[in-house]
Amino acid sequence: MTSESTTAGYLAFLIGRDGEPDLLRHTLSRREAFLERLARDPVRSRVRFDRDTFARNLARRRPERGLDERMLWLLATARANQAERFGVGLGELYGLTDPDDPLKVRIGLEEHYHTRLLADVVGLFDLPARMHPPAMPVRAVIWILVGIPERWSRPLSGAAEMVGCVIFRLLRDRGVALFAGEPDVAGRIRLLYDEILADEIGHVGYIASVLGPAGRSAMRRLFRLLGVRLARQLPELVALYDREALARSFAAEFRLDALAAELPGRAYAAAMI
DSSP 63-109: PPTT--HHHHHHHHHHHTTHHHHHHHHHHHHTT---TT-HHHHHHHH
pLDDT in tens, 13-51: 999 999 999 999 999 999 999 999 999 999 999 999 999
Q: CA-CA distance, 254 to 239, in Å (whole number)? A: 23
Q: What percent of the chain has pLDDT over 90?
A: 78
Q: Is 78 exposed, middle or buried (0-12, 13-18, 19+ CB in 10 A)?
A: buried
Q: CA-CA distance, 216 to 220, in Å (whole number)? A: 6
* pLDDT of residue 3 exceeding 70: no
pTM of the model: 0.94
What is the residue type of 67?
Answer: L
Chain centroid to CA 268? 15
Kind of pairing between the strands at 21-22 and 27-28: antiparallel
Tell me, what's the pLDDT at 109? 94
CB atoms within 10 A of CB 66: 6
In the predicted model, what is the mean pLDDT of residues 246-256?
95
- Which strand (E) or helix (H) includes residue 21? strand 21-22
Tell me, what's the pLDDT at 257? 97
pLDDT in tens, 126-168: 998 877 778 888 888 888 888 888 889 999 999 999 999 999 9
